[in-house]
Amino acid sequence: MDILKIFLYLLVYPGLLFLFVYSTFVEWVDRKLYAKFQNRMGPMHTGSHGLLQPIADFVKLMAKEDIVPKEADKKLFNAVPILALTSVLTAGLLLPVWHFSDTFQSATSFQGDIIVIAYLLSLPSFAYFLAGWASASMYAAIGGVRVLTLLFAYEVPMFLAILSPAVMAGSWRMAEIAAYYQAHPWHLLINIFAFAVAVITLQAKLERVPFDIPHAETEVVGGAFTEYSGRKLAMFRLLADIQMVVGAGMIAALFMGGFPGGLIPGFIWFILKTLIVVFILAAMRAVTARLRIDQMISFSWKWLAPLALLQLVIVIFLKGYLQ
Amino acid sequence: MSTFILPVGPQHPALKEPTSFRFLVDGETVVDADLRLGYNHRGIEKGCEERTYIQDLYLLERVCGICSNVHMTVFAQGVEKLMGIEPPKRGLFIRCLMGELERVHSHLLWLGVAGHEVGFDTFFMYTWRDREIVEDILEMVSGNRVNYGMQTFGGVRRDLDEMQIRKVLDGIAALKARTPYYLNIGASEPTLVARIAGVGKLPKAKALELNAAGPTTRASGVDFDVRKDDPYAGFGEHIPFNIVTDEGGDVLARVVVRAKELMESYNICEYILKNLPSGEIRVKAPRKVPEGEVVSRAEAQRGECIHYIRSNGTDKPDRVKVRAPTLANWPATLYMLRGGYVADIPIVMAAIDPCLSCTDRMAIITDPKGNQKVWNWETLRQYGIDFYRKRGIKL
Amino acid sequence: MSLRLGAMLPEVLKHLFKKPATVQYPFEKIGVPKGFRGSPVMDPNLCIGCQLCVKDCPSEALEIHKESESTDEAGKVAKRFSMTFYLDRCSHCAQCAEICPKKAIHMNTEFEDAAFDRGALKIVYK
């Protein structure tokens, strides 16, 4: 029975099938919001109101010819999308999609899973760099180098930002952190700076405007993905969507009180809270221009990292005060 | 990474038209830049020699899609000078109106393209939505959204009635209300300003030395505008307007200059429509043009557009030479690109508002050994036939 | 002007409640204004066969052919001409309509001219 449950968690919810379907829905929401902000319509015809458009895009890419450049390192070139996709899917399994309680254990929840999920979410960036490096194209090489430079900029503020609610709650386990904030909802407001930093660095991790420097279309054609086509490109695009879901889920679990109440209410809370984060990300995408890599680094180290540090200091003080 | 050559073009998402750039790049810095033009050459100047003057009007209109009216105006003006006829006042005013409406549509288009080059797609969508207002006006006045076909020898071809004038004034008023918002955003949105301020600097001395044209040079403080310095069309009748200059010399200054030129164009259009003289819109023009040669110029959206026309007394021109403003701006662009970042390449190139269709005439590439062959029509044709025969394509 | 964080945000959020500016062509169409320059249409009753339109067309898109010639009792000769119009060459400049001395050509308002077969774009006005 347990084996069956594990397979259910892995394949259906919160595993493969759920992440796949929900990430396409989230991409649809993002595209529709982005279009509405720009006074246009977004996808309209595939499925009712274009709901099936992301799936249609995925299927179309899967059906296209898969070209590997002659000079490219074939093994690495082929392996990288799969590696990146698996790491992000594994990260998705760690989300506390139902509330921690003695009767209803979360799918996979253990002390320290907040560090593991952050680590797994940063593996795709290395995968992008390897993809760019293995492609033997100068645009891809520039794109790959930019991915790593971007990583230097946002990784530290991101870790500091997700540290603050953990310190406040006194635990390294996401389900316990969510439970703490369910018990003390006003403490959510203490983490407001960390929330801002976390959302901005999530936008950087997802490589969306204003941080889509590595694959800036008008500068380096496709960045690390220039030489990818067909199935591998479909996997990269899918992985970007799933990363958005997992990142939004992580932020919702840490900063918005998690997903309490068991299976069904937890599911509804998950959808709701991740959609709020997606709304903020889509609005950020619509109102900004793309930054240059040196501007991003100076912005990150001048503003984001100090803000996250300030938040940490506030949390430490308040924790001592409230004890 | 040591220096390597980054090719931008002929196919590249940053370019709207094919150009071949070769950048010597060191990490993220551009050390050197080189340019090769000629990809959009279509043989229009040669085509002009085989067609009558009336047919050439429409051929020259299609040199470029955005500057189509300007090329038609310059050609019509030049041939009118050769013919010795002068259009009536109402015709000149409507000719001027079309030029200014085209400037409005082009600058709004440019604002959107500049936004897109820095990744600011919302700006792009908003400016192009507003551009639809002026496109609808142009369609109503001239019968088409592009290639208006309004100019002819002796005046303009279509007139405006009362209802059209009212509609145009309403459209201009709506645009006048919307445009200051873009100037505002261009100066206050932090990410946009970070991308365009201080980028692509062109000092005034360099702008004069490299002979830049249009808003590119006006943004470096040079106040040269053909409408004031060599008035043509209705501008000779002292339509009041101001030349817009800015001292910044960077891309932000060019955005400001173009946005302010938009406001000036709205004022010019309103003045023309409210003070349109009555009368005829054209005079009859002869079919055969007397012998002579003439240089005619106008202020296109991107700078000074010059045509040289030589006639030999028949109804076909002897030689037509088109010099578009973007050709004058390329040396300045190469200067701006050196020493900048790779990330700045698209926006610096877009800041001069490049129009390759206007620019590309025949490109002569000199042999490094110095043996420059000059090919005539027969040699060129034979070369083309041999090229394809060698590859097994029968011609 | 000073920098404002998220300067475009109020305008962008307002657009959540506005109607989109997109027209869903071809399911919805906006018409063309009066005077739109479509393709030339010729009235054979008015044509006198002067061939000025053929001379002036910049794209060699027109041909005028004599259809018939008849002489009536008074000795007056009446000729009828037809026009072959190549829509795939036309540049829609309306020079033919302008130059015709008998106003036999006017421009229609058609713009959806695409076809799969070149032959379908050859139109004869008899």
The answer to the question of residue A172 being in a domain is: yes
Domain that holds residue C107: 34-125
Mutation site for A-interface testing, chosen from B24, B29, B120, B184 by largest number of A Cβ within 10 Å: B120
Q: Examine the pLDDT at B371 and tell me if it is beyond 70.
A: no
Q: How far apart are CA B57 and CA B148, in angstroms?
A: 11
Say what the pLDDT of residue A72 is: 85
Q: What is the pLDDT of residues C42-70, one digit of tens each?
A: 999 899 989 999 999 999 999 999 888 88
Q: Which of C4, C21, C93 sits opposite B58 (nearest CB)?
A: C93
Q: How far apart are CA B271 and CA B177, in angstroms?
A: 17
Q: Which of C1, C36, C91 sits opposite B58 (nearest CB)?
A: C91
Reference A161, options A316, A308, A279, A40; nearest CA is A308
The answer to the question of residue A51 being in a domain is: no
Contacts of B311 by beta carbon, 8 Å cutoff, 6+ apart? B79, B82, B289, B290, B291, B292, B293, B317, B318
**Contacting residues of A for C9, CB less than 8 Å apart:** 283, 287
Answer yes or no: do B344 and A292 touch at CB < 8 A. yes
Q: Which of B120, B125, B344 sits opposite A40 (nearest CB)?
A: B125
The answer to the question of residue A248 being in a domain is: yes
Answer yes or no: do B28 and A218 touch at CB < 8 A. no
The answer to the question of residue A154 being in a domain is: yes
Say what the pLDDT of residue A32 is: 94
Answer yes or no: do A40 and C20 touch at CB < 8 A. yes
Q: Examine the pLDDT at B370 and tell me if it is beyond 80.
A: no
CATH number of the domain within which C88 lies: 3.30.70.3270
Q: Which of A36, A41, A44 sits opposite C16 (nearest CB)?
A: A36
- Per the CB < 8 A criterion, the answer to whether A211 and A150 are in contact is yes
Count interface pairs A-C at CB distance under 8 A: 31
Mean per-residue pLDDT, C24-39? 88
- For chain C, the domain total comes to 1
The answer to the question of residue C68 being in a domain is: yes
Answer yes or no: do A210 and B191 touch at CB < 8 A. yes
Q: Which of A38, A138, A292 sits opposite B343 (nearest CB)?
A: A292
Say what the pLDDT of residue A102 is: 47
Q: Examine the pLDDT at B295 and tell me if it is beyond 90.
A: yes
Mean pLDDT for chain B overall: 88
The answer to the question of residue A23 being in a domain is: no
Question: Which residue do the tokens 């070209």 mark?
Answer: A67
C8 in B contact zone (CB under 8 Å): yes
Phi, psi of A113 (to 5 degrees): -70, -15
- Computed over its alpha carbons, how large is the radius of gyration of chain A? 20
Q: What is the pLDDT of residues B136-190, one digit of tens each?
A: 999 999 988 988 989 999 999 999 999 999 999 999 999 999 999 988 888 888 8
Residue of A nearest to C12 (CA): A37
Mean per-residue pLDDT, C79-108? 91
C-alpha dihedral (A57, A249, A30, B125), degrees to nearest 10? -130
Q: What is the pLDDT of residues A297-312, one digit of tens each?
A: 999 999 999 999 999 9
Domains and CATH numbers, chain B: 44-324 (1.10.645.10)
The answer to the question of residue C19 being in a domain is: no
The answer to the question of residue A146 being in a domain is: yes
Domain that holds residue A98: 71-322
| First-residue to last-residue Cα distance in chain C | 67
The answer to the question of residue C71 being in a domain is: yes
pLDDT one digit per residue (tens) for chain A, 323 residues: 678 877 877 787 777 888 899 999 999 999 999 999 999 998 998 888 899 999 999 999 999 998 888 888 889 999 999 999 999 988 888 887 765 454 445 557 778 888 999 999 999 999 999 998 888 888 888 888 889 999 989 999 999 999 899 988 888 888 888 888 888 888 888 889 999 999 999 999 998 888 888 877 777 777 888 888 889 999 999 999 999 999 999 999 899 888 877 778 888 888 999 999 999 999 999 988 888 888 899 999 999 999 999 999 999 998 888 77
Say what the pLDDT of residue A129 is: 92
**Contacting residues of C for A40, CB less than 8 Å apart:** 20-22
Q: Examine the pLDDT at B72 and tell me if it is beyond 60.
A: yes
Q: How far apart are CA B179 and CA B258, in angstroms?
A: 11
The answer to the question of residue C11 being in a domain is: no
**Contacting residues of B for C59, CB less than 8 Å apart:** 58
- For chain A, the domain total comes to 1
- In chain C, which among 57-116 make CB contacts under 8 A with chain B? 57-59, 91-95, 98, 107
- In chain B, which among 143-182 make CB contacts under 8 A with chain C? 143-144, 147, 149, 157-158, 181
- Please tell me the distance in Å from B359's CA to the nearest CA on chain A: 22
Q: Which residues of B255-270 are buried (b: 16+ CB within 10 A; e: fewer)?
A: bbbbbbbbbbbbbbbb
Say what the pLDDT of residue B365 is: 62
The answer to the question of residue A232 being in a domain is: yes
Mean per-residue pLDDT, B303-317? 92
Mutation site for A-interface testing, chosen from B16, B116, B125 by largest number of A Cβ within 10 Å: B125
Answer yes or no: do B188 and C2 touch at CB < 8 A. yes
Answer yes or no: do A221 and B117 touch at CB < 8 A. no
**Contacting residues of B for A138, CB less than 8 Å apart:** 4, 6
Say what the pLDDT of residue B356 is: 85
Q: Report pTM.
A: 0.90
- In chain B, which among 91-150 make CB contacts under 8 A with chain C? 122-123, 129, 132, 136, 139-140, 142-144, 147, 149
Q: What is the DSSP letter of B282?
A: B
Q: What is the DSSP letter of C89?
A: T
Say what the pLDDT of residue A140 is: 87
